[in-house]
Amino acid sequence: MPLKTLIRALVLLIWLPVAALAQDMTVFEVETLNQGLPPAPEDLDRTTPQSSMEALFELVETGERETAAHLLDLTGIPPSEQVRRGARLAADLVEVLDRTAIINWTALLERPDALDANASSESAVAGQPQRSILIDVVELDERAVAIRLNRLKPKNGDPVWVFSRQTVDNIPALHALYGPTRFEEEMPETWREQAFWGLRWWELVAFPAMLALVGVVGWIVGRLQDKIAQRAERRTTRDVLCATRMPIILAACSGLTAVLSHSLFMFSGRINTVLTPLIALGFTAAALIFVLNGVDAVLNRIVPFDDDTLSDPRMEQRRNIATRIAAWRRVLIVAIVLIGGFIVLREAQLFGSLGLSVLASAGALTLLIGFAARHILGNILASLQIAMNRSAKIGDKLEYRGHIVTVERINFTYVQLLDWTGVRLVVPVSEFVAEPFENWTMRTPSMVRVIKVRLAHDAEVQPLREAFFEIIAEQDEDEVQPPEESYVMVADQDVFGQEVWFCLACARADTAWTMSCVVREALLEKARQRAAEGYAVFPQVNPAEAA
């Protein structure tokens, strides 16, 4: 390598770090700034982010729009047009900021270098000077655009805080989307003046009027659906109208609010900050209720809860379908809640408006929510577990904690059981899956019911055995199995007598308990007849001895 080339390389390696150090990282250096504007007034304070923001609002409010143009980076505009267009852009920017965001004035520091000495150590800009500050992020044509203040230093001037060139380029499109509507422009000038709390006089009237109109429309929609449901002849039509009544009301109210607040009225940021997430919440609630009511209507058509027919062996496929539908219902609810919650938080932008750091608090917030909802989350997972392993399906006949019940509902946090007496048991899902229970309709519908009878030591079992099989032969063939499937055994004995088990083979689990009661009554009647004839049947003991 020639000596001259080596020297040049060494000089370049030394000069690059020095040049980087010489570059002032607290400003954006530019050749000129707004050369098409007249010199900025000496009393115009642009030294800090807060002073620049305050000056913009004050100058536009007092009508000094040409002076307010000095607070914008007009580099992208020809110098000959900067005076005319700069004044208009400054006024339009104020309207956009006023209608789309609540400015966090605490983030606009009263320091030229925008260094926040009180920032948390976890903050990315803690203890560092800034040369660009994000004011807000606004949706524009399905994309997010940033509104920023930049610290620029002209070649022969002092550093100043002005709105960035990219922000200025987006002002016309933002104003067309978020600026005053034609309806508002037709209002008298006095109505468009500031009233209090950043609101205009027309907003104080239009906002309550809009809410009243939305409420009336919702009432009318509900009444119309009631009238149509009353005149509907088919049950399916009535079920559909009843299931969709509340979702349609919510969707109509939310849709009307969205149309009025984006076409007829364009409210200030303080109202939009609350109104926008409420609209998203209304649509989310409509979707959630639609899923709940729709799936419940389908379940009510599939599952006949008014009798025991669902426990019939031939209804196994229907029980499976009902359980799957109920499981998908819970999955859809979780999906809608998660997606809807994300949309509501995204539309709200409350965290950014109030200057809260979601990322910094996400860990602690997750722990708090998890601790508070641990039982609910456990029940939800347990309900999904039941649906997956099918240990208990909707319509199954169970013996749970001494109760003979039918599974009516498997909800997120509880299982609804219908006792044979008509009483409904509500059991938390976590407790239901933690305890053993007898599923009488799982796999095989037939079952054996044991009728236990205490007889005296010298009582003859054979006559009662014959009577037992005679009683079985008299029963419906659809309710009991062939007689050879039933049997009688002396299962135990003690000082009081012998315990005889009359094992009744039932064909259907849903009616097995009732059938065993019928056979027990008839069997005891036969035993009493033998006792009346002088035969030894029942033990001769008093209640105290039995205890």
DSSP 131-192: SEEEEEEEEETTEEEEEEEEEEEETTS--EEEE-HHHHHHHHHHHHHHS--HHHHTS-GGGG
Strands, sheet with 497-506, edge to edge from the N-terminal-most edge strand: 447-455, 497-506, 487-494
Predicted pLDDT of residue 517: 93
Q: Which residues contact 148 (CB under 8 A, 6 or more apart)?
A: 132, 133, 134, 135, 163, 164, 166, 167
User: Residue 358's pLDDT is what?
Assistant: 43
- Per the listing, tokens 């309550």 go with 208
Task: Give tens-digit pLDDT for 233-245.
Answer: 777 777 777 778 8
Tell me, yes or no, if the pTM score tops 0.75.
no
Average pLDDT, the chain: 78
Side chain identity, residue 123? S
- Give rounded-to-5 percent helix, strand, coil for the chain: 55, 15, 30
Indicate the angle between helix axes 235-259 and 201-231, nearest 10 degrees: 170
Rounded to whole angstroms, the Cα distance separating 386 from 384 reads 5
> How far apart (Å, rounded) are the C-alpha atoms in residues 133 and 154?
19
Ranges of H-type helices in 422-495? 429-434, 461-473
Which residues lie across from 428 on neighbouring strands? Answer: 414
Residue 22 confidence (pLDDT):
43
Q: How far apart are CA 426 and CA 56, in angstroms?
A: 63
pLDDT of 196 above 70: no
Q: Tell me the pairing of strands 424-428 and 438-439.
A: unpaired
Structure tokens at 294: 């729709």
pLDDT classification of 499: cutoffs 50, 70, 90: very high
pLDDT of 153 > 60? The answer is yes
Total residues found in the chain within this entry: 547
The confidence score (pLDDT) of residue 370 equals: 62
Rounded distance between C-alpha atoms, residue 241 and residue 234, angstroms? 11
Q: Both tokens of residue 320?
A: 């499976």
**pLDDT tens, position by position, 50-87:** 888 889 988 988 888 898 999 999 988 898 899 889 99
- Pull the structure tokens for residue 134: 């994000």
Q: Count how many Cα atoms sit within 13 Å of the Cα of residue 233 in the half-sphere of its side chain.
A: 0
Q: Which residues pair with 407 in a beta bridge?
A: 417
Element (H, E) at 521: helix 509-532
- Torsion angle (degrees, nearest 10) of CA 337, 341, 347, 351: 170
The pair of structure tokens assigned to 406 is 């039918």
Structure tokens at 39: 């010199």
Taking the C-alpha atoms of residue 49 and residue 65, their distance in angstroms, rounded to an integer, is: 19
Is 2's pLDDT higher than 60?
A: no
Nearest CA-CA partner of 293 in 339, 255, 250: 250
Q: In this model, does residue 522 exceed pLDDT 90?
A: yes
What percent of the chain has a predicted confidence (pLDDT) above 70?
A: 73
Convert the pLDDT of each residue in 255-308 to its tens digit. 888 888 777 777 766 677 777 778 888 888 888 788 777 766 766 666 555 445
Per-residue pLDDT at 355 = 39
Strand blocks (E) in 251-402? 397-400
